[in-house]
Each structure stands twice: as C-alpha cells, then as structure tokens.
Chain A
Amino acid sequence: MPWFSRNKPKIEQNDEQRIVQTEGVFTKCPECDSTLYNRDLENSMQVCTKCAYHFRIGANLRLELLFDNGKFEELDQEVTSADPLEFVDSKPYKDRIEQAKKSSGLPEAIISGKGEVGGHRVYAGAMDMSFIGGSMGSAVGEKITRLIERAMKTRGAVVIFSASGGARMQEGTLSLMQMAKISAALAQLHEKQLPFISVLTDPTTGGVTASFAMLGDVILAEPKALIGFAGPRVIEQTIRQKLPKGFQRSEFLLEHGMVDKVVDRREMRKTIIRMLDFMMNPEIK
C-alpha cells in the first residue's frame, strides 16, 4: 500500500485548516485534495485513505484508539487551570480558560486515563490542541506528574501523546517549572525500571518537547508531524534564512536519530503493544 507517496508539494496549512471537519458527509484532504467520506475517514482513524495524511485528532479519540476495546477510566478530571498570575492580555486568562473548556468540551489541555493496552496496565495521557493550543500550564504538569506517580505505585507503564505549542505563557515561570516537575517524576519512573513511551503528534514544540516528550524509553512519531524545540518562525527570524524542506518533521528527526520510529496512526496501537511486551518484564518487581 503506497500510502506514503506524495506527488506534489503543498503549501503549509494553518491550524484551522488542519482540524478535522466533522460536519457534513465529506471531508477534503488538504494534502491530496481527495474528497473523502467522513465514515471512511472515521474507519481509518482520521487518516486519508488516499495519501495517508494524518488529520489532527482530539485527546479522547487518542485514548480510545489506544486502550483495549477503547475502554479507560479517566483520571484527575478535577485538576484544572487556575489563574495564579492574574494574567490579562486581549482578554483575562480566566475567561480564556472558560472559553477553552466550552469550545473544546475538555477540562484541560490533557486527558489522562488508566486501562489496559494489550493486557498491560497502562497510564496514558493525550494532549489536545483545541485547549489553548495544547499548552502546558500547572494543571497539565500536575496531571502528568500524577499519572507517572500512579504508574509507579501499581507498576504500570506510561504512554503520553503530545500535541502542544509548548509551555503556557499565561502562567509564566510556573508553566516553565512543570518541565522540571514532570522530568523529576520521570527520573523516578526510570529508576523503577518502568516504561515510558512518548508519542509525538502534530505539532509538538517548545517546553513539551524539551521535557517529557523527549524522555521516552522509546519515542514514536506520527508521519510528518512538526516536532522541535524552537518554532520554525523563531528560527527563521534568528538566522534570517529559509529553512530546509522537511525541517523539523518526524522523518527529519528520525534521520537525525531523535526518534525511534515514525508510525502510521493505524499501526500505532499494535506498535505500542509490541514495545510494552518487551518492556513489561514480569521478572522486574
């Protein structure tokens, strides 16, 4: 199946265009222009059946696609953002949070859940771009840290799907410190010989990449996802030159030894199970 073939170069899509259109019967693929039945798209996990373009998907669907029979127990729903800085830009951060909850239908930029994956005990988190750009503030940091601590208590594995523009500006240095907080928890998980599988999806940048996302025992990436520390615009402004083609895409990171595998979404669960089979060694207690 030549799903990775790509004939004509396409102009970069902006965020709005990349989000799955759920209304109507058809969706147009922004990569190959094919008109796709929404039902077919759903069956193929929101991957274009013609060119394998990966539409962005939300956190709940991520977790459903991961867990055995799509079943999981949601954790730490009550952990949500506060406004410690009393931050106001074009609107107060407080209002921004409320608006994000309404428009995304989510309590935070990450959903975490507990369940089984290929029979293994797994604690998984999935970030969601529709909640303030998937940004990481104190609540996201707390939810991920709790997820890791829970995994340590019951000897489970941790799987996190990243999708984030980075640390949440509106919580300032408190957001920054979440990078240290989560990484310190991962140090303990590592010490306890428990697995962390990090899955990078489009886009994963900034403080999320520069902390837990790059700390997986294995790091998987969906095809053509934008992954980097600095955003492409920041780099262009700094070096004042055009960026090479394919720069900061999954395949570029694979080539530079920064990710273990680029995995089609339709193969993701199977790949994760294969890795957990290796890592969840019953001899380790």
Chain B
Amino acid sequence: MKKTAFERVQTARHPERPYTLDLINKIFEDFVEIHGDRRFSDDPALISGFAKIGGIEVGVVGQQKGRDINERRHRNFAMTKPEGYRKALRLMYMAEKFKRPIVTVIDTPGAYPGIDAEERGQAEAIAFNLREMASLKVPVVVVVLGEGGSGGALAIGVGDRVLMMENAVYSVITPEGCAAILWKDAGQAPKAAEGLRLTAAELSKFGLVDEVIEESDLWTYNQSDGDNQKVFERLKKSIVTNLKELQGLSVSRLIEGRYEKFRKMGEFQA
C-alpha cells in the first residue's frame, strides 16, 4: 500500500515494529551477545555478538529499542552513546580478525545528545567508526530496519551493501527537527518528511540504498500470519545472498568496491 513519507516515518517508529533482537530471534541462529567497549562501559542501546545466518557465521551489531517503558529507558530509546559505537567497532575488529563477515542493523532516532556523551567524544566515536569501517577486510552488510537517524545511524552504516526495509527511513535530521529549524514549527514535520526524501524508494533512486525489502502492510514482531513471516524470510534471503556474493570477492576488490560505492554519493555541479 502506498504510504506518504510521514506515514512511513510513523511506521518505522511503530511500537510493534520488529527490532534488532527480533531479527536475531527470527532469522539468525545461535546468537551469543558480547558486552562492553573495554574503555568505559556497556551501552544497552546497541547490542553486539556472534550469530549464524543461513549457515554463515557472522558478527552482528545493531541498535536496540525497548518494547515497554522500562526497557525503553534501559535501552535509552536506542540513542547510542560513544561506548556503544566503540563496542560496535570492537565487535567489527574481532569479526575481521577471525575472517567473519559483519551484519549491522540500524534502528535509532540518533546518537544520544547528552552532556556525558559529549564529554566522552560522541563525535569522535562516530567519526572513527566511519573511517575504520571503510577499511574492514571482511564483507559488511547493512540493514536499515526502522529509523536511520543521521550520524548516529551512519556510524554503523558504512558497508558493501545497504539493504533497507520498505518502510524504514534514513535521514540527516528528523522531520520534527527539520521543521523546527526551517519553519519554527515541529507541526510541519509531514512536509519536512516529504522534502527530505528519506524513504527507501527515494534513497535507492539516489544510489544510497542497494535493495529495498518489501514489507507487509504493518510488519510487526509478534504476528505469526503468513505475510508477516514472509517479510522476515525476504530479509533473511537478501542478507544471505549478499553475504555469499561478497564472500567471493578478494579483500582488495571488497575494499575498493566499498570506497567506490561511497565515493559516488552526492550530486553537485561541476
């Protein structure tokens, strides 16, 4: 069903939308979580660990929202802190060391904007991930699952393939934030959502997304009907197919290909 951009924003934020742990339960096997950045603490807004998908051992990192009020608070609404990004990088380095591909799952309103996050170098944590992910020697498949909130999303989003759920959104700023700045009125968010071109269909036109995964009308974590299940299966199939393709490439082809992919992004006059 055709949705407006803002309806997709709302769908991406829907309280029953599948989260990273739901994917791990439904399409990955044998997940074991690892914790902590070895620098400061463990960030529950981002989970990392080892898992298998379609028989392939992978390192997984993903942002995690909470289902109820307590979990939401515990997960800080998936607003990742520097220690979360550093934990993600730790997992990715480890996957590289053991020659296992990486799957990252993006679902965050944005990196946490707080005093402590600034003190511990939120900007540096994001920037460093961007640079390091560009040179990882193993395949990286990125899934934009729900909200792709700006730099906080991109910090785990530099990969060889970017898959995006049909109703996920990926933007430089939230529609509310954009509307507040441009029209001094957060109520103009639907208009901002339209203008920002943040939907999967639009972003694939700009070459920022490689594959759009079709969803059912309201894809949820808990319904067991066929259509709902099929979405999980489609996503799994796409991840596995892409991983297999990428595993056939030499390390230099892989890294060059990743560079070229991001190198081409942007439209300007020259």
Contact = CB atoms under 8 A, between A and B. Distances in A.
A247 B115 contact: yes
A212 interface: yes
A65 interface: no
Interface in A66-120: 76, 78-82, 84-85, 87-90
B130 A230 contact: no
B123 A177 contact: no
A228 B262 contact: no
B11 interface: no
Best-surrounded residue of A141, A185, A209, A257 (most CB of chain B within 10 A): A209
A191 B135 contact: yes
A186 interface: yes
A110 to B, nearest CB: 12
B158 interface: yes
A245 B172 CA distance: 29
B195 A214 contact: no
B60 interface: no
A169 interface: yes
Contact of B183 (A90, A139, A187, A228): A90
A256 B121 contact: yes
B30 interface: no
Contacts of A186: 131
Nearest to B136: A187
Nearest to B129: A183
Contacts of A180: 130, 134, 154, 157-158, 262, 265
**Which of B117, B135, B151 is packed against the most chain A CB atoms within 10 Å?**
B151
Contacts of A247: 115, 118
B113 A230 contact: yes
Given A169-B173, A169-B178, A174-B206, A210 B197 contact: no
Interface string A142-164: 10010000000000000000000
Contacts of A60: none
A89 B182 contact: yes
B208 interface: yes
B248 interface: no
Contacts of B262: 177, 180-181, 184
Given A89-B182, A229-B126, A174 B266 contact: yes
Interface string A247-268: 1100000001110000000000
A130 interface: no
A243 B117 CA distance: 13
Contacts of B111: 210, 229-230
A176 B151 contact: yes
Nearest to A216: B127
Interface string B207-251: 010000000000000000000000000000000000000000000
Interface in A161-209: 167-169, 171-181, 183-188, 190-191, 206-207, 209
B195 A89 contact: yes
B119 interface: yes
Interface in B161-177: 170-173, 177
A137 B172 CA distance: 11
A239 B114 contact: yes
A258 B121 contact: yes
A138 B151 contact: no
Contact of B127 (A188, A210, A234): A210
B131 A190 contact: yes
Contact of A173 (B117, B126, B172, B269): B172
A207 B150 contact: yes
Given A211-B130, A215-B131, A239 B115 contact: yes
Please list the 4 inter-chain residue pairs (A to B) with the smallest Cβ-Cβ separation, ordered nearest first: A138-B266, A230-B113, A183-B130, A184-B134
Given A177-B266, A229-B113, A238-B114, 8 more contacts: A81-B269, A88-B195, A89-B195, A169-B173, A173-B203, A187-B134, A211-B127, A244-B115
Interface of A: 76, 78-82, 84-85, 87-90, 137-139, 141-142, 145, 167-169, 171-181, 183-188, 190-191, 206-207, 209-215, 228-230, 234-235, 238-239, 243-244, 247-248, 256-258
15 contacts: A78-B269, A82-B267, A139-B266, A139-B268, A168-B172, A169-B172, A173-B171, A173-B196, A173-B206, A177-B208, A177-B266, A179-B151, A180-B158, A214-B121, A234-B177
Interface of B: 111, 113-115, 117-124, 126-128, 130-132, 134-135, 150-151, 154-155, 157-158, 170-173, 177-178, 181-183, 195-198, 203, 206, 208, 258-259, 262-263, 265-270
